[in-house]
A = this chain, B = another copy of it.
Amino acid sequence: MTAPGPFQRALLPEGLRDDLPPWAEHEAHMVDRLMSVAAGRGYRRVAPPLVEFEDSLITASGQGQGQSQSRSQSMFRLLDPVSQKMMAVRSDMTLQVARIATSRMAGQGRPLRLSYAGHVLRVRGTQLRPARQFRQAGVELIGSDALEADLEVIALAAEALTDLGIKGLSVDLVSPTLVPSLARQLALDEPTTEMARRALDAKDIAALAGFDETVRDILTGLMQAAGSLDSALPKLEQVPLDGQAARIRDTLVTLARALKDRVPDLKITIDPGECRGFEFHTGVGFAFFAPHVSGELGRGGRYQVACPDGGQESAVGFSMYLDSLLRAVPVPVEHPRIYLPFGTGQEEARRLRSIGWRTVYGLVSVSDPAAAARAEGCTHLYEHGVALSLTADDEASEE
């Protein structure tokens, strides 16, 4: 992508951009690949609208007032002249998919496997994600609390990302309910819990000095049990946990082991004490990374979906963000294009397309077809039944 000049810079609002060739096709192709991997595993596509009543886009189960408010502030709001109610442009699609699952698809059997892809818009970009519009694509598996469901979704995500050409993919597994559960068990008060949480997120052993010995041992143990699976798992198993906290730990251990079995090439790390960014998850959370690419490629985990009847369904999902992914995948190569001089038969053009060429048909007769072909960005010129390469000193190849 060429850097925009001063004229181009003024054309679009900050954080919004035109995708040019070959990027626009490449991004669409990446979404198709994910949707196709998901479809192969029985995930059926749904497509909610870009705009909904604001209320539907900010309400979610298990989320505090703060989360709803920050969600609301991240969305562009629009007055609907038809209903006179406030609408908003979605800033995330997962709530929409949950709404579909629990309303229009409430009568369908469970578990329900859904996939989705679409654009989301945010009022402001962040340093990590300056784009204000980007594509989100993902899957949701709703109505099963089996660990096999978590495993299926993480394995699917890993396969889809690998399929896109990402090298050295890794996944980080977290257990955001572990620390809250521990805090309840150890009867820690709110400020102490918060201090523990901050120390764990920062991996700051010194910050644990003020805790009593039992608590400190446990928290230090969790902190040291972060890292690559092989070294961290034995440490995690030695942390002296019991009751619910032990069960949460065992879930993470079981899932991590099963994932290693299922996707042997995937690099797995665990961070059992980490909560940051997974505050609303009710089971294992995960995030995918690639070497030399800042930020996550995608993330997901287990959560509760609120139903209109007041009930809840357990679900596990995965979302990927195309702006991050585009930084991680190999630069797309434009497909070869062959220039057919004006007068080339339509049958001949069809035949060339049928064997994989992209044809560019000369609209008028020109004296220098090779120059015209180059002007139109063609890699080849079709002359006397032969595809002549225009880009390098390739041999002409008989067609």
A337: Cβ under 8 A from any B Cβ: yes
Q: How far is the CB of A109 from chain B (nearest CB, A)?
A: 3
The answer to whether A39 touches B152, judged by C-beta atoms less than 8 angstroms apart, is: no
A353: Cβ under 8 A from any B Cβ: yes
Residues of B within 8 A of A39 (CB): 25, 335, 358
The answer to whether A374 touches B133, judged by C-beta atoms less than 8 angstroms apart, is: no
User: In the complex the two chains form, what is the Cα distance from A124 to B379 in whole Å?
Assistant: 46
Question: Across the two chains, which residue of chain B brings its CB closest to A125?
Answer: B82
A20: Cβ under 8 A from any B Cβ: yes
Contacting A18 at CB < 8 Å: which of B46, B87, B361?
B46
Residues of B within 8 A of A7 (CB): 103, 308
Residues of B within 8 A of A104 (CB): 4, 8, 11, 18, 20
The answer to whether B360 touches A87, judged by C-beta atoms less than 8 angstroms apart, is: no
Q: How far is the CB of A99 from chain B (nearest CB, A)?
A: 7
Residues of B within 8 A of A21 (CB): 44-46
Q: What per-residue 1/0 map shows which CB atoms of A104-125 lie under 8 Å from chain B?
A: 1100111111001101010110
User: In the complex the two chains form, what is the Cα distance from A17 to B47 in whole Å?
Assistant: 9
A80: Cβ under 8 A from any B Cβ: yes
User: In the complex the two chains form, what is the Cα distance from A85 to B125 in whole Å?
Assistant: 17
Residues of B within 8 A of A116 (CB): 24
A51: Cβ under 8 A from any B Cβ: yes
The answer to whether A53 touches B363, judged by C-beta atoms less than 8 angstroms apart, is: no
CB within 8 Å of B: which of A114-160?
116-117, 119, 121, 123-124, 133, 144, 146, 148-149, 152
User: In the complex the two chains form, what is the Cα distance from A335 to B89 in whole Å?
Assistant: 32
CB within 8 Å of B: which of A317-364?
334-335, 337, 342, 346, 353, 358-361, 363-364
The answer to whether B376 touches A111, judged by C-beta atoms less than 8 angstroms apart, is: yes
Residues of B within 8 A of A19 (CB): 46-48
A40: Cβ under 8 A from any B Cβ: yes
Contact flag A16-B105 (CB < 8 Å), given A78-B76, A82-B124, A358-B39: no
- Segment among A27-35, A181-189, A206-214, A248-256 that sits at the interface with chain B: A27-35
* Count of interface residues, chain A, beta-carbon cutoff 8 Å: 89
Q: How far is the CB of A275 from chain B (nearest CB, A)?
A: 27
Contacting A16 at CB < 8 Å: which of B14, B15, B49?
B49
The answer to whether B27 touches A337, judged by C-beta atoms less than 8 angstroms apart, is: no
A12: Cβ under 8 A from any B Cβ: yes
The answer to whether B100 touches A49, judged by C-beta atoms less than 8 angstroms apart, is: no
The answer to whether A14 touches B82, judged by C-beta atoms less than 8 angstroms apart, is: yes
Residues of B within 8 A of A18 (CB): 46-49, 96, 100, 104
Question: Across the two chains, which residue of chain B brings its CB closest to A16?
Answer: B49
The answer to whether B11 touches A56, judged by C-beta atoms less than 8 angstroms apart, is: yes
The answer to whether A83 touches B13, judged by C-beta atoms less than 8 angstroms apart, is: yes
A377: Cβ under 8 A from any B Cβ: yes
Q: How far is the CB of A392 from chain B (nearest CB, A)?
A: 19
User: In the complex the two chains form, what is the Cα distance from A111 to B378 in whole Å?
Assistant: 12
Contact flag A49-B133 (CB < 8 Å), given A39-B358, A89-B89, A100-B20: yes
User: In the complex the two chains form, what is the Cα distance from A20 to B355 in whole Å?
Assistant: 35
Besides A11-B103, A149-B363, A152-B361, 15 more A-B contacts (Cβ < 8 Å) are: A13-B85, A13-B87, A16-B52, A20-B46, A20-B105, A24-B46, A27-B47, A42-B359, A49-B133, A51-B133, A76-B78, A78-B78, A81-B123, A108-B377, A152-B363
